[in-house]
Chain A
Amino acid sequence: MTAAPSGTAAPAPTAEHPFVHPAHASSGPMVVVRDARYVYPRGGVTALDGVTLDIPAGQIVGVVGQNGSGKTTLTKLLNGLLKPTSGTVVVNGMNTADWTVQKMAAHVGYVFQNPNHQLFATTVEKELEFGPRNLGIPEEEIPERVADAVEFFGLQDVLGQHPYRISFPMRKLVGIASIYTMRPRVFILDEPTTGQDHRTTSVINRLIKRLGERGDTVICVAHDMPLLADVAQRLLVMWNARLIADGTPREVFANAEVMQRTHLTPPQITQLSLRIPSRAGRPVALAVSELVDEMRGTPRGTEA
């Protein structure tokens, strides 16, 4: 597993990622949140109570917490679906308060948990074209983007089919792909593996890693701790509308107090590694293979 890149500039346009954003030149963090608060207009409930954080470009971040902890509110502030009641949210140089959701969509792609909420076109291909077309991408560029998405997500077989006739796991992929064709720098995935079987979870796992390899920033809201243990370089723990922990998965899962307070449980392998008497004081294990190698004495060691 690679260490978290921090404070790196957004990668320059490449053949793989040619679309250049207006604020691309910024060399600061991709996401800057300063004391963001959100209060629901009706009912006055404070869903987010002052969050401050930076997310560098290319980082894969997991956001965890119980339902109602503010994690969804935080992500909706990031793509401009919600505007902060106070504080600022700036993504790729764009202050969300100054731009509509539609304008932010060119920079931040939000993949909703239920793909059914997005899919309405008659074919998968049309679904993939919808996003870029809305952004005003010239017609002649759209087929190339669609082809890129088809290749990346393996959608060759379903391209001409009606979205509701393909399997639910495929629909989830189409949902992500239809955001991908908009070429945002930041992907927000809302519970991508909730309710999915192991095979689909593995596919999504690999997808997230590949997005990270391309330099995209991925923010993943999830309850799936083993998934996040594997893909996330950083975990944000939300509780009671606040950010109560921010660190690597290894740090966060080892923090018993935070885990208890939020009623979250680390992956089973992590729990095991915490309880093995001979390992006391050592960093917790995040993956089965890691602990196996360690127990075997294979010189792979553990990263901090």
Chain B
Amino acid sequence: MADDSAYITIRGLGYTYAGTEQPAISGIDLDIRQGEYVGIIGLNGAGKTTLGLCLNGIIPHMLMGDQEGTVSVAGLDPTTLPVREMGRTVGMVFDNPEFQMSQITVAEEVALGLENLGVPYAEMVPRIAAALDLVGLAGFDERSPMALSGGQQQRLAIAATLVMKPQILFMDEPTSNLDPIGKEEVFEIARKLNRDEGLTVIVAEHEVEVLAQYADRIIVLDHGRIALQGTASDVFSQVDRLTELGLRSPQVTEFAYGLAPNEPGLPVTTDQALAWLGARA
């Protein structure tokens, strides 16, 4: 689908880490529109993290390896621009909340990015307050990040990157290490940021049920290549294909598939499944 309004354009992207033979990703062609919520699924090692790191320039600037292809993010080229410039446009959140913490207080953690960008103090204060408010951590300023729960730490990590006002947020398995409440909190913020603030949100996850609910589009990575992409319904309806790839669809989709294996556009949420059953009755 040729897309002139594409906000992120990737063509023929490939990357091989130094010291390895197999490329981590290869032949990636992808267009993402502004304001889209994209879900990326794939087995561990399929290339989800690598793809994300190419968006903000960590690849190629910080890691050793060979990159090929082109990446254009909101009109910027992460392969030539320094990482600190991309930080204003692409925010990154990783899977281990605690490993993203380094400061003595919550407020300082959020301030870090602004300090690095040389933002004047007077401007910092309201931006930090706004970011903490957005993730539901208002008033936590003086707390120690290490003393927060996993869910709170992850929300802090999100605030620390939001404060730089990025237009794009890439989250790499953000709820892997969280309990159910923590997972809910993070997905709720992602939804809010996408729907209310218009952020382009890209989430790599194993939680297919949640992605199916929120994502406009799903991308399936297998051994570094895009195996499938499309709407949640398009992708998850291909139950057999996903099973071949070692992945799974939401349970309700597998259920519908069990009753109607050749039907396209199967339901991917519980509500949709109920409606689908009702229509079949």
List A residues at the B interface (Cβ < 8 Å). 66-68, 167-169, 194-200, 223, 226, 263-265, 267-269, 271-272, 275-276, 288-289, 291-292, 295-296
Interface residue B258 (Cβ < 8 Å from any Cβ of A): yes
The residue from A195, A264, A272 contacting B95, defined by CB atoms under 8 A apart: A195
Residues of B within 8 A of A226 (CB): 251
List the B residue with the shortest CB-CB distance to A225: B180
In the assembled complex, 25 residue pairs joining A and B whose CB atoms fall closer than 8 Å, in A order, are A66-B179, A67-B181, A167-B44, A195-B177, A196-B44, A197-B206, A198-B206, A223-B180, A226-B251, A263-B180, A264-B180, A268-B209, A268-B252, A268-B270, A269-B255, A271-B270, A272-B252, A272-B273, A275-B270, A275-B274, A276-B277, A288-B255, A291-B255, A292-B255, A292-B258
A168, B44: Cα distance in complex, Å: 9
Interface SS of A by simple majority? helix
Number of interface residues of B (CB under 8 A): 31
Would you list which residues of chain B between 175 and 195 have a CB under 8 Å from chain A?
Answer: 176-177, 179-182, 184
Query: Which B245-266 residues sit within 8 Å CB-CB of chain A?
Result: 246-248, 250-252, 254-255, 258-259
Determine whether the beta carbon of B209 is less than 8 Å from that of A288. Answer: no
A66, A169, A272 pick with most chain B CB within 10 angstroms:
A272
Task: Point out the residues of chain B lying under 8 angstroms from A168, CB to CB.
Answer: 44
The complex places the Cα of A292 from the Cα of B273 at a distance, in Å, of 13
Nearest chain A CB to B165 CB, angstrom units:
30
CB-CB under 8 A from A195, the residues of chain B are 95, 173, 176-177, 206
Select one of B180, B247, B251 contacting A198, CB under 8 A.
B247
B181 & A197 in contact (Cβ 8 Å cutoff): no
Q: How far is the CA of A291 from the CA of B254 in the complex (A)?
A: 10
Query: Is B45 interfacial (CB 8 A cutoff)?
Result: yes
CB distance A197 to B246 under 8 Å?
A: yes
- Does A292 lie within 8 Å of B259, measured CB to CB? yes
Q: Which residues of B contact A271 (CB under 8 A)?
A: 270
Question: Please, how many angstroms separate the alpha-carbon atoms of A296 and B251 in the complex?
Answer: 17
Cβ-defined partner of B180 (8 Å) among A66, A169, A268, A276: A66
Expressed in whole angstroms, the minimum distance between the Cβ of A172 and any Cβ of chain B is 11
